[in-house]
C-alpha cells in the first residue's frame, strides 16, 4: 500500500520516462483496481450486499483473515493502513488515467476470487474505479469492450456491435452511461417518487453469447441456489456471510 508513494512523483522526469517507455512498447495496462478495493475500505467490501446470496461459503472462508491464504491479510487491519491505500489508489489512478490520455491502452479486469472480490460483481466495480480514475463513462465502456478485444486479438469477432461479428452482449434496463451501477447483475436501488418506496432498477436482463440468449433472472436464481445448497451441506445458516457475531454480542 505504500509502493506508489515510494515511486517517482507525478509529472517527474522518471514518471515521464516510464510512461514513454511503456507507450513506445505498446504496453497494455489492466490495473484490476478492484482486487485491492478492500484495502482502502475493508468494512465496505466485506459488507457488500451480494455476498450473502452470491458468494460461495468456501470462497468466503478464503477471504477471511489468514497467514496462509493468498490475499487474506486482514489479521491486523488498521485505519493507518487504509489511509496508505487511499493514497496508493490516488497515485496509481493518476498514472493509469494519464497513460490512457497519452494514447496507451487500458483494459478492464477484476482478478476476482480474492480479497472480498466476488466474480461478476467485481468486474463492474472495476469499471466504476476507472470512472473514479478520470475515465469518462464512454471510455470505461470502450476499455471493457473494444480495447479488451483488441488486446486478446479477437477484435475481428467481438468488442463492437457490427454486422458479421459475434452477438456477445449484455442487455440491461437503463442507460449505463448515466449510471454504471445498472450493470451490476442485481441492479441498484432508486427511490420511486410516485410511491415513496425504493425500487430495484437496472440489472442484467439478458446475456447473449454467440447469439444464444440467457435470461439474467434465471442465471441469478441458479447461482443463489448453488450458494444456498452449499451452505446447507455444511450446516451453515442462510445468513452465514456475516462478521463474527460472538464478537459483537459480548
Q: Using one digit for the tens of pLDDT, what is the confidence trace for 213-231?
A: 999 999 999 999 999 999 9
* Helix-then-strand count for the chain, H and E: 12, 7
Q: Using one digit for the tens of pLDDT, what is the confidence trace for 30-46?
A: 999 999 999 999 999 98
**pLDDT in the model for residue 245:** 45
The x, y and z cell numbers of residue 45, run together, are 467490501
Pairwise CA distance, residues 95 & 240, whole Å: 39
pLDDT at 198 over 80: yes
pTM of the model: 0.93
Pairwise CA distance, residues 207 & 147, whole Å: 20
pLDDT at 204 over 50: yes
**pLDDT in the model for residue 75:** 84
**What pLDDT band is residue 205 in, cutting at 50, 70 and 90?**
very high
Q: Considering the chain, what is the average pLDDT of its residues?
A: 93
**pLDDT in the model for residue 19:** 98
Give residue limits of the domains in the chain: 3-242
pLDDT at 80 over 50: yes
pLDDT at 250 over 50: no
Q: Are strands 204-209 and 169-172 parallel, antiparallel or unpaired?
A: antiparallel
Q: Tell me the percentage of the chain whose pLDDT exceeds 70.
A: 96
Amino acid at each position: 500500500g505504500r509502493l506508489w508513494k515510494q515511486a517517482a512523483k507525478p509529472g517527474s522526469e522518471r514518471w515521464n520516462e516510464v510512461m514513454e517507455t511503456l507507450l513506445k512498447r505498446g504496453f497494455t495496462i489492466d490495473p484490476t483496481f478492484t482486487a485491492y478495493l478492500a484495502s482502502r475500505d475493508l468494512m465496505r467490501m466485506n459488507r457488500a450486499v451480494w455476498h450473502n446470496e452470491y458468494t460461495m461459503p468456501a470462497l468466503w472462508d478464503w477471504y477471511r483473515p489468514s497467514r496462509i491464504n493468498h490475499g487474506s491479510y486482514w489479521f491486523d487491519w488498521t485505519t493507518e493502513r487504509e489511509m496508505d491505500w487511499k493514497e496508493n489508489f490516488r497515485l496509481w489512478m493518476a498514472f493509469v488515467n494519464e497513460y490512457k490520455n497519452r494514447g496507451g491502452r487500458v483494459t478492464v479486469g477484476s482478478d476476482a476470487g480474492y480479497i472480498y472480490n466476488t466474480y461478476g460483481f467485481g468486474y463492474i466495480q472495476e469499471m466504476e474505479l476507472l470512472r473514479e480514475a478520470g475515465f469518462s463513462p464512454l471510455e470505461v465502456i470502450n476499455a471493457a469492450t473494444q480495447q479488451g478485444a483488441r488486446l486478446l486479438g479477437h477484435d475481428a469477432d467481438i468488442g463492437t456491435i457490427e454486422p458479421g461479428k459475434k452477438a456477445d452482449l449484455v442487455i440491461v434496463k437503463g442507460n449505463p452511461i448515466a449510471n454504471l451501477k445498472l450493470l451490476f447483475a442485481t441492479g441498484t436501488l432508486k427511490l420511486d417518487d410516485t410511491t415513496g418506496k425504493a425500487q430495484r432498477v437496472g440489472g442484467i436482463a439478458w446475456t447473449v453469447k454467440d447469439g444464444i440468449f440467457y435470461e439474467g433472472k434465471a442465471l441469478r436464481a441458479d447461482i443463489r441456489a448453488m450458494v444456498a445448497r452449499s451452505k446447507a451441506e455444511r450446516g451453515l445458516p442462510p445468513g452465514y456471510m456475516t462478521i463474527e457475531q460472538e464478537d459483537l454480542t459480548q
